[in-house]
Amino acid sequence: MNYALIGGTQSGCGKTSVTLALLQFLNKRQKSVRCFKTGPDFLDPMWHKAITHKTSYNLDTNMMAIEQIQQILSKHQDVEFGIIEGVMGLFDGKSGVGGKGSAAHLAKVLDVPVWLVVNAKGMSGSIVPLVKGFVREAEDIGFRISGIIANRLGSENHARIIRELLLEHQLPPLIAWMEKNAPLLSERHLGLQMPEEHDVPDFSKAFHVELDLLKSTSDSLALTSEPQINKSKLNYLQGKTIAVARDSACCFIYPSNLDWLQAQAAKIIFFSPIAGDAVPDNTDAIWLPGGYPELHLQALSQSATWASLAKHIEQGTPTLAECGGMMLLAESIIDHQGTSWNMAGILPIACRMQDRLAALGYRQDENSGIKGHEYHHSKREDHQILPKAYSLKRGDEGLLFNNCRASYIHWYFESAPDVAAQLFLRKPP
């Protein structure tokens, strides 16, 4: 299996479009491929899966141990190509140049070659010092850039000029290029729109690839056999039925979190608040992930789900509500136009949408060590003082109501398995 990481010179250079175009290219040539995503993003993996029909896993060195990343890759070696989409600019991470969470850090710890995406619109000779700088910095950090993908080129002649310049200056070769009139992906405040809202654009007429160079500039990884898991740490949730909200309002779910719940021998059942599904009576715990509740306010304001959900929370059923999932429990959500929509009314809060980013960053609970990520464009208005759900140096500490923990943070369960399990277990009397 050949791997490569698609990194970019900066956010907005075209990494995701290039990644999707490459997945389409490989699919049409009947090359089996699986994609992964650097960092905590939920939306890019949805687009990956829409093309490959295979789950795209997040690989995040801020929230995950290297052994956990290795384990994910080891489990999914059943394809010819493993493509890892980077995050932001190649060296952009939590801090410094190539720090934790960056695509560069992931490339280094995995020893995976990088294909660098450059927005080369209006560029010819200037690509040389730009690429030279990235290549040298990569070498200093301890990984290699093996190929260049030029985005937004004007013509085949433009591509020829770029190709010859890279060759002349002994830089990584041009392995692919995208025309400047290629389709664009629609975006909204949390990033790209979801693939269920739009067909995946057909990039085939605008994307040009040298397949032989793809093969020669990618590489196998020195993955150990699947890491051994301490069996004493399995089956935390054996025999427990966990109801997970899953629809467009609750779609921000790390696939590894579902895998982890199943590894703990939990039974997972899904329900849709948009459809008005009831939470089954035999549910032992509830998980309300985030998503886009603000796009479905009319349906949610009339949802029949709230009665059964309120009953469970009143009875103390352990409930984890993350970001949009917390918003569902509010008395109301106030949309961008100022209209107030009634929600479940379980928590004494309202959530107000805003155009401005409200919070962004990695979070860690000071007491338990569990790690997560916070990113939202709404603010919570607390109508009553409740205990805090978490203890953080920075970020939303949330609310604790009965056995319900609600905050804006999306947690990564395997960052602290003991703690994650307790989120779904009743506390002893």
Q: What is the mean pLDDT of the chain?
A: 95
| Non-local CB neighbours of 230 within 8 Å, separated by 6+ positions | none
Identify the band that residue 231 occupies on the pLDDT scale cut at 50, 70 and 90.
Answer: very low
Mean pLDDT of 126-137: 99
- 3-class DSSP assignment, residue 242: strand
Mean pLDDT of 4-23: 97
Radius of gyration of the chain (CA): 23
Judge if 2-217 and 236-422 fold alike in CATH terms: yes
Give residue-wise pLDDT tens across range 300-325: 999 999 999 999 999 999 999 999 99
pLDDT of residue 232: 43
CA distances from 237 to 110, 309, 420 (A): 32, 21, 10
Residue 410 pLDDT > 50? yes
| Non-local CB neighbours of 340 within 8 Å, separated by 6+ positions | 332, 333, 334, 350
Residue 124 pLDDT > 70? yes
If 0-12 CB within 10 Å is exposed, 13-18 middle and 19+ buried, where does residue 180 land? middle
**pTM for this prediction:** 0.95
Contact 82, 70 (CB under 8 A): no
DSSP, res 112: -
Given the candidates 1.20.1260.10, 3.40.190.10, 3.40.710.10, 3.40.50.880, the CATH classification of the domain at 236-422 is: 3.40.50.880
| Non-local CB neighbours of 310 within 8 Å, separated by 6+ positions | 344, 345, 346
pLDDT of residue 275: 98
pLDDT of residue 79: 95
pLDDT of residue 194: 66
Contact 309, 341 (CB under 8 A): no
Mean pLDDT of 345-355: 98
The percent of residues in the chain predicted with pLDDT above 70, rounded, is 94
Of the two residues 428 and 364, the one the predictor is more confident about is 364
pLDDT of residue 23: 98
pLDDT of residue 223: 80
| Non-local CB neighbours of 4 within 8 Å, separated by 6+ positions | 81, 82, 83, 84, 112, 113, 114, 115, 146, 147, 214, 217, 218, 219
> Any idea which architecture 2-217 has in CATH?
3-Layer(aba) Sandwich (3.40)
Active site amino acids: 323
Mean pLDDT of 332-343: 98
Domain ranges of the chain: 2-217, 236-422
